[in-house]
């Protein structure tokens, strides 16, 4: 397929590996933020072919992995109500809550549906006026505009049996939290290309300056990632800390103003908890007051939930790049993609699942 195949060309990839070997002199740790990039890196064995003095740290950029257990429990409680049709992106169904997951709720005979687009759930609401349709609005900045558009449509069309369980997180506050952490070892960043397709990369310029590290907006195909790593190492070796845009075929500095506009119309920032990491200030989105009547947490009265996270799962420190999946005693033994203990084993973009799928075989 155009814009995919040519970025998987193995002879060009080899040239990149050679070029990176040529320029790297010291030890460097680079974090790729996005789980999609983690997946590509592990799938194509990029981490294993890089020079030994480059360490790739897999960041927290998988919304499925960082959605707090409380939200999953809330989703389970709402989805279990007989009057509800609960709509979600497919990858949320197997994420373990405290006692269950959405797939089990579905197996128990409740109406839980996988939708491709958030707007599909608005259409389901129109077709089922005697039911309450709840959409699990999960995601980063990439997904927020689509989810906002669904709420906006429901508002404009005055649909009263539709609501959203919002679990939105934002990338820049999480980056800052990671860089501020005492144990931080990240020296360069590959920023998530699709988040930047929406938001642009202006916000990253002050992060690069203030934390003195290069940030490369990077795409998802092997050649994109290799070019991102090359650009990052080049800056590290030359002691510069600029934002560079590797993914210029998709991302502009300003991002997509139409998508940002609808996001800002419907959502505002709020303090948010990240699974395995904890609370990060102003790192999430919630509905603005104007759209509160679409807030499933208010409608179903599932507000005050607090949950102790499992102590077995170390996904929180994996998401901060301090440990690797293999360092977890449960990895591949009691925790597998079929029986995940933590969210990073559920999503194909989670580091644990990527390691399980692609590293076991080697």
Binding status of residue 57 toward ligand SF4 by CB under 6 A:
no
The residue count for the chain: 362
Q: Which residue lies nearer to another protein by CB, 251 or 345?
A: 251
Q: Please, are residues 34 and 193 in contact by the beta-carbon 8 Å criterion?
A: yes
Query: How many whole angstroms separate alpha carbon 305 and alpha carbon 73?
Result: 8
Query: How many whole angstroms separate alpha carbon 270 and alpha carbon 188?
Result: 27
Q: Give the chain's count of helices (H) and strands (E).
A: 16, 11
Among 5, 130, 289, 338, binds another protein (CB under 8 A): 5
Using CB distances below 5 to 8 A depending on partner kind, what does residue 16 bind out of another protein, ligand SF4, none?
another protein
Using CB distances below 5 to 8 A depending on partner kind, what does residue 119 bind out of ligand SF4, another protein, none?
another protein
**Rule CB under 8 A: which of 258-277 touch another protein?**
258-259, 262
3-class DSSP assignment, residue 66: helix
Binding status of residue 191 toward ligand SF4 by CB under 6 A:
no
Cα R_g (the chain), whole angstroms: 21
Using CB distances below 5 to 8 A depending on partner kind, what does residue 59 bind out of ligand SF4, another protein, none?
none
Q: Which two tokens stand for residue 43?
A: 């799938």
Among 78, 198, 233, 330, binds ligand SF4 (CB under 6 A): 330
Binding status of residue 134 toward ligand SF4 by CB under 6 A:
no
B/e letters for 116-155, b = 16+ CB within 10 Å, e = fewer, are eebbebbbbbeeeeebbbbbbbbbbbbbbbbbbbbbbbbb
Binding status of residue 254 toward another protein by CB under 8 A:
no
Enumerate binding residues for another protein (CB under 8 A).
1-7, 9, 12, 15-16, 19, 34-36, 61-64, 89, 91, 116-120, 138-140, 142-143, 145-146, 149, 152-153, 156, 192, 194-195, 197-198, 219, 223-224, 227, 230, 246-251, 256, 258-259, 262, 347, 349
């Amino acid at each position: 397929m155009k814009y995919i195949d040519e970025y998987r060309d193995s002879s060009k990839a080899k040239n990149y590996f050679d070029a990176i070997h040529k320029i790297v002199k010291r030890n460097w740790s680079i974090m790729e933020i996005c789980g999609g990039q983690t997946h590509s890196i592990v799938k194509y064995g990029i981490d294993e072919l890089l020079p030994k003095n480059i360490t790739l740290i897999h960041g927290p950029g998988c919304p499925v992995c960082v959605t707090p257990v409380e939200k999953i429990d809330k989703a389970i409680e709402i989805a279990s109500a007989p009057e509800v049709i609960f709509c979600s992106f497919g990858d949320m169904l197997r994420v373990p809550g405290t006692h269950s997951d959405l797939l089990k709720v579905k197996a128990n005979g409740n109406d839980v549906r996988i939708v491709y687009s958030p707007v599909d759930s608005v259409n389901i609401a129109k077709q089922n006026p005697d039911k309450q349709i709840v959409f699990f609005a999960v995601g980063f900045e990439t997904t927020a505009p689509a989810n906002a558009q669904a709420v906006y449509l429901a508002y404009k069309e005055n649909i009263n049996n539709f609501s959203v369980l919002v679990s939105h997180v934002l990338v820049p506050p999480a980056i800052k939290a990671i860089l501020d952490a005492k144990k931080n070892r990240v020296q360069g960043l590959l920023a998530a290309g699709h988040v930047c397709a929406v938001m642009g990369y202006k916000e990253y310029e002050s992060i690069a300056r203030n934390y003195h590290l290069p940030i490369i907006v990077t795409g998802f195909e092997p050649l994109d990632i290799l070019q991102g790593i090359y650009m990052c190492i080049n800056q590290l070796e030359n002691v510069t800390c600029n934002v560079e845009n590797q993914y210029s075929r998709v991302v502009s500095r300003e991002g997509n103003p139409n998508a940002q506009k609808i996001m800002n119309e419907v959502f505002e920032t709020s303090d948010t908890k990240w699974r395995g990491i904890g609370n990060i200030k102003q790192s999430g989105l919630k509905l603005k007051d104007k759209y509160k009547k679409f807030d499933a947490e208010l409608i179903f009265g599932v507000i005050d939930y607090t949950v102790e996270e499992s102590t077995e799962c170390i996904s929180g420190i994996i998401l901060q790049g301090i440990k690797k999946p293999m360092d977890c005693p449960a990895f591949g033994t009691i925790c597998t993609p079929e029986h995940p203990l933590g969210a990073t084993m559920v999503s194909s973009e989670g580091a644990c699942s990527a390691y399980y799928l692609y590293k076991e075989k080697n």
